[in-house]
Amino acid sequence: MEHSTFKKWSAEFAGTFWLTFGGCGSAVLAAAFPQLGIGFLGVSLAFGLTVLTGAYAFGPISGGHFNPAVSVGLVIGGRFRASQLAGYVAAQVLGAIAAAGVLYMIATGKAAADIGGFATNGFGEHSPGKFGMRAALITEVVLTAVFLIVILGATAKRSAAGFGGMAIGLCLTLIHLVSIPVTNTSVNPARSTGVALFAGGWAVQQLWLFWVAPIVGAAIGAVVYKFIGEERTA
């Protein structure tokens, strides 16, 4: 294994750890206490900030994917080599699991601790707004597609240098504002997997949707961007 490859995997692990710990931690540790005032908007902003800060910290090393669906979309969009995909996805999932483990130890570190839904994603009775499976699928597919279009556009050669992370972070904030009531927002299979493994039960049973829908959405977003945004010579 090349040393540079291990560095990339390490950056993806760390970035996905930060996204999961910061985003899900804001929901589990802060939003659970109304008196702290973070609420729905605060959780949305927390997820956006983790991606924004992670992109600038780790993006120069690995590209700052932090999300298996993003990595798949970038392969389809011609921005990432398929040969590197498995290593990135493994690092991302392990980073999310590690973050969820640390978060679980913190959340259960008080008397009569109740982790509630543990920031998991769900549909039906486990959707914050009780939205069904069809609504969850459509929401995750559409919003992940838009996320990929923004990522590809914000990081294109013709885009303003240095502002990609800001656009991507703000996009993820908006995505959460739209979809928290429907699925508690995934658009990221690694983030969903980490907390689901600690919540267990229904969260693991419904996890398939939060792998399938984001990856399908990412593929659609990549194809759409290649059609409307690909640079061509006259």
Q: Per-residue pLDDT tens, the chain, 234 aa: give them.
A: 566 999 999 999 999 999 999 999 999 988 667 666 688 899 999 999 999 999 999 999 999 999 999 999 999 999 999 999 999 999 999 999 999 999 999 999 988 778 889 999 999 999 999 999 999 999 999 999 999 999 999 998 887 777 888 999 999 999 999 999 999 999 999 999 999 999 999 999 999 999 999 999 999 999 999 999 765 533
- Would you put residue 160 in left (φ > 0), alpha (ψ -120 to 50) or beta? beta
Q: Give the SS3 label for residue 200.
A: coil
Q: What pTM, to 2 d.p., does this model score?
A: 0.93
3-state helix, strand and coil shares in percent for the chain, rounded to the nearest 5: 75, 0, 25
Q: Does domain 3-228 have CATH number 1.20.1080.10?
A: yes
